[in-house]
């Protein structure tokens, strides 16, 4: 049997999303890679571009914090071989233009243009020694974070596994599941075992996260074995206003009434109000920080 490659010079990204703040002044570009090595190369070069303020990778996701605008990349072979040339927010769409030399041009064009959830694209020829450009139009998305705690018992279950499985099940084009964090809390006497809560992050089309949330809650109620499950939802670009509360929950035992106050002050929606609400709320500011969130707050 003769083996063949359908498209030998294209490695298509799985998904690409643009999460935007309310004012359209900050964009987090999220790329779900099919080839870690290629994406790591891109991250190095893209991070040196003037529009990119920070970058990181979480597993197969490569994430760029960007100030929208246009830039002159001044591409130079082997030094500045690729980058993000412009990011324009217009209504419910985000237009992203990539540019690259050689293999970087392949990544800038067809490798990204064929990713899931891209609305439309315009690309030049790529490969070889030429400069290539690709413009992708993505739907504008908003961040939605769900915090959950207390779903298990002394004999059954683990919150982090249940929440990952539910988030994977309810993932859909309108509400993409993009990150999962385990959050180590202060070991209170009422803990099941390790006193860990969970935060999961979704990139949602504006106003289109409700069906996902309803399904999430229904599955949580169905499979939780605790009567004290807490579920909290944060809908905004930046959950850092909740960080003092989250850090406090890592250091000491916190009262349920304090959690209610923190939820009210930070616009958090409470969907399940068991005692686990304390940990659920504490998990929210550690969204997309899985390496930091597992660190205990005590010696």
For each of the domains in the chain, give its residue range(s) and CATH number, in order of start: 15-140 (no CATH), 150-293 (3.30.70.2200)
Sign of the dihedral through C-alpha 188, 190, 192, 196: negative
pLDDT at residue number 126: 59
pLDDT tens, 45-63? 999 999 999 999 999 999 9
Sign of CA dihedral 49, 71, 108, 118: positive
pLDDT at position 284: 98
Q: What beta strand segments (E) does the chain contain?
A: 15-20, 27-32, 52-58, 61-66, 69-70, 82-90, 93-101, 120-123, 131-149, 175-184, 196-204, 230-234, 269-273
**Gap between the Cα atoms of 198 and 264, Å rounded:** 20
Q: Enumerate residue ranges in the chain where pLDDT < 50.
A: 191-192, 299
DSSP SS3 for 130: coil
Q: What integer pLDDT is reported at residue 299 of this predicted model?
A: 43
| Entry field: residues in the chain | 299
Neighbours of 153 (CB within 10 A): 13
CB 280 within 8 A of CB 224: no
Hey, what are 183's tokens?
A: 């959050």
Element (H, E) at 38: helix 36-46
Please tell me the predicted confidence (pLDDT) of residue 193.
53
């Amino acid at each position: 049997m003769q083996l063949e490659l359908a498209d030998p010079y294209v490695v298509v990204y799985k998904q690409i999303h643009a999460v935007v703040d309310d004012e359209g002044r900050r964009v987090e570009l999220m790329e779900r890679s099919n080839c870690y090595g290629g994406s790591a190369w891109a991250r190095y070069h893209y991070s040196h571009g003037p529009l990119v303020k920070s970058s990181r990778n979480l597993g197969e996701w490569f994430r760029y914090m960007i100030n929208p605008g246009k830039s002159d990349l001044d591409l130079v072979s082997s030094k500045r071989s690729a980058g993000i040339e412009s990011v324009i927010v217009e209504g419910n769409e985000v237009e992203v233009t990539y540019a690259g030399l050689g293999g970087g041009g392949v990544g800038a064009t067809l490798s990204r243009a064929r990713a899931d959830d891209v609305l439309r694209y315009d690309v030049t020829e790529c490969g070889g020694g030429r400069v290539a450009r690709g413009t992708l139009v993505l739907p504008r998305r908003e961040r939605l974070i769900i915090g959950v705690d207390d779903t298990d018992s002394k004999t059954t279950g683990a919150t982090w596994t249940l929440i990952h499985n539910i988030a994977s099940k309810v993932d859909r084009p309108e509400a993409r599941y993009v990150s999962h964090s385990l959050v180590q809390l202060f070991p209170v006497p009422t803990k099941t075992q390790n006193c860990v809560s969970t935060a999961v992050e979704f990139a949602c089309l504006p106003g289109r996260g409700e069906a996902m949330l309803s399904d999430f809650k229904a599955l949580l109620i169905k499979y939780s074995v605790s009567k004290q499950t807490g579920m909290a939802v944060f809908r905004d670009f930046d959950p850092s206003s909740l960080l003092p509360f989250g850090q406090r929950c890592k250091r000491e035992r916190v009262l349920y009434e304090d959690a209610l106050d923190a939820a009210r002050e930070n616009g958090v929606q409470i969907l399940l109000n068991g005692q686990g609400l304390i940990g659920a709320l504490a998990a929210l500011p550690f969204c997309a920080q899985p390496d930091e969130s597992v660190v205990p707050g005590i010696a």
